[in-house]
């Protein structure tokens, strides 16, 4: 979602004649878009400010804006501690960024913009043409969260769950496809909580699938509590919906899930997977894990290991518990840091072994790849298969934007390498 937000900010500031630069030294305006999910995010802001101040020590100071979730959560602290920052802009106030910059150009003081004005935000951003022209792109359909997991800052930085209208989303999706997109990933903090009038995520997927030149649809990030039967059916009925679901679980222990206020059990989680696999046998899953949550015992951790072995997630994102200021878990007593780090290493070694074994089993098999762009100086093209695995193929013809069958010949830790075998013809799905 941060990438999506950053692209929209870029689209906005183009309207006041700002263009991106890769050279920090020539910047007239410095915008740092931030994430606040894990600790040390604030420290990164100060680190970047040090870098900017060093670069502009003997030059005219640029306009400096801190945007995103760190701005939302700790804006006042940032402004008090770092006078080099001109303004903080929360994620629901991005639409005000041009006004803030223009005021600062005129030496009009601008400081804290962290109101929750999500409707006004999307009304403004919807009029901005997304011009990144990417083959694979993102589209925010939902923001915020009402789940209040005890470790999570999202309800406090992004606000309550809000869903955009399906008409607005469809028009933006059509625009993205008209600009060259072949794949769209629908985004939300709780994407499967999408609900606008009578429309749910499943309805939205089926409607978007009717856009003829759109070849692939994905969505992230899901919550187990919102995984409804109609969404499961969408995986059965929509050919364009890719067979990979990112479904965060956080822990394999019911005791820890309860302590986190996740409000689902491991049994319920596994039942969702069972139901999806019944209608879509080739489905695969990825997930998020918090290791070392306060109160986690060896038995709790072994339950997480058991879950990983049972599901065999083809990708997992795991971190030691990070206490976020303002969350209910912030003041909980942490487990021994040495134990937490050792558990993380054990878990990541297992997840990596599962991932590598999964990829080894793809050697000599054929996958379907949507190619995005040419890489390096050779004739290598980068794309992703149905399961979002990176794939590299050598070709003398331009493969960008094309879907090809590829026979996998080799792998490394993260990437599949293969040989193009044929084009892939996808029937146009109509709901």
Name the pLDDT band for 412 (thresholds 50, 70, 90). Answer: very high
Whole-number Å distance between alpha carbons of 94 and 72: 11
Whole-number Å distance between alpha carbons of 256 and 171: 42
Query: What stretches of 93-235 adopt beta strand conformation (E)?
Result: 112-113, 136-140, 142-143, 162-163, 183-187, 195-196, 199-200, 216-220
CATH 3.40.50.12160 fits 2-115, yes or no: yes
pLDDT of the residue at 73: 77
Domain ranges of the chain: 2-115, 120-352, 366-423
Name the pLDDT band for 94 (thresholds 50, 70, 90). Answer: confident
pLDDT digits (tens, 9 = 90+) for 155-188: 887 788 999 999 999 999 999 999 999 999 999 9
Q: Is the dihedral of CA 114, 118, 120, 124 positive or negative?
A: positive
The whole-number average pLDDT for the span 54-78 is: 86
The whole-number average pLDDT for the span 197-212 is: 96
Whole-number Å distance between alpha carbons of 35 and 351: 25
pLDDT greater at residue 182 or residue 127: 182
The whole-number average pLDDT for the span 326-346 is: 95
Q: Tell me which DSSP letter residue 76 carries.
A: H
Whole-number Å distance between alpha carbons of 201 and 344: 34
Name the pLDDT band for 284 (thresholds 50, 70, 90). Answer: very high
pLDDT of the residue at 119: 54
| Token pair belonging to 286 | 């990825």
Contact indicator for 135, 373 with CB cutoff of 8 Å: yes
pLDDT digits (tens, 9 = 90+) for 210-244: 999 999 999 999 999 999 999 999 999 999 999 99
Same CATH topology for 120-352 and 366-423: the answer is no
Whole-number Å distance between alpha carbons of 430 and 205: 11
CATH topology of domain 120-352: pyruvate-formate lyase- activating enzyme (3.80.30)
pLDDT digits (tens, 9 = 90+) for 363-409: 999 999 999 999 976 799 999 999 999 999 999 999 999 999 999 99
H/E stretch holding 333: none
Superfamily (CATH H level) for 366-423: Nucleic acid-binding proteins (2.40.50.140)
Name the pLDDT band for 423 (thresholds 50, 70, 90). Answer: low
pLDDT of the residue at 154: 84
Contact indicator for 386, 424 with CB cutoff of 8 Å: no
């Amino acid at each position: 979602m941060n990438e999506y937000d950053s692209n929209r900010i870029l689209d906005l500031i183009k309207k006041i004649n700002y263009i991106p630069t890769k050279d920090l030294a020539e910047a007239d305006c410095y915008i740092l878009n931030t994430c606040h999910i894990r600790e040390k995010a604030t420290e990164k802001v100060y680190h970047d400010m040090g870098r900017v101040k060093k670069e502009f020590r003997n030059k005219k100071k640029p306009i400096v804006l801190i945007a995103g979730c760190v701005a939302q959560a700790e804006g006042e602290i940032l402004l008090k501690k770092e006078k080099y920052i001109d303004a903080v802009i929360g994620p629901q106030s991005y639409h005000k960024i041009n006004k803030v910059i223009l005021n600062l150009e005129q030496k009009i003081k601008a400081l804290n913009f962290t109101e929750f004005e999500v409707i006004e935000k999307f009304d403004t951003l919807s009029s901005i043409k997304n011009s990144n022209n990417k083959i694979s792109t993102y589209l925010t359909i939902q923001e915020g969260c009402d789940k209040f997991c005890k470790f999570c800052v999202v309800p406090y930085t992004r606000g309550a769950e809000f869903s955009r209208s399906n008409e607005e989303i469809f028009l933006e999706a059509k625009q993205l496809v008209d600009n060259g997109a072949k794949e769209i990933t629908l985004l939300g903090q709780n994407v499967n909580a999408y609900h606008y009038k009578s429309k749910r995520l499943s309805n939205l997927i089926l409607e978007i699938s009717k856009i003829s030149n759109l070849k692939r649809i994905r969505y992230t990030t899901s919550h187990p509590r919102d995984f409804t039967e109609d969404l499961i059916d969408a995986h059965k009925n929509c050919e364009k919906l890719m067979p990979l679901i990112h479904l965060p679980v956080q822990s394999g222990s019911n005791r820890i899930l309860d302590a986190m206020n996740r409000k689902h059990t491991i049994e319920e989680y596994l039942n969702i997977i069972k139901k999806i696999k019944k209608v879509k046998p080739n489905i695969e899953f990825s997930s998020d894990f918090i290791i070392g949550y306060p109160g986690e015992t060896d038995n709790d951790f072994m339950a997480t290991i058991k879950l990983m072995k049972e599901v065999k997630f083809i990708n997992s994102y795991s971190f030691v518990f990070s206490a976020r200021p303002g969350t209910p878990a912030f003041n909980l007593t942490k487990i021994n840091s040495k134990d937490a780090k050792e558990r993380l290493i054990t878990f990541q070694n297992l997840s990596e072994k599962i991932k590598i074994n999964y990829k080894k089993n793809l050697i000599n098999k054929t996958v379907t790849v949507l190619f995005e762009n040419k890489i390096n100086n050779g004739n290598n093209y980068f794309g992703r298969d149905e399961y979002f695995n990176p794939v590299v193929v050598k070709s003398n013809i331009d493969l960008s934007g094309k879907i090809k069958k590829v026979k996998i010949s080799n792998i490394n830790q993260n990437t599949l390498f293969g040989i193009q075998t044929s084009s892939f013809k996808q029937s146009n799905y109509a709901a």
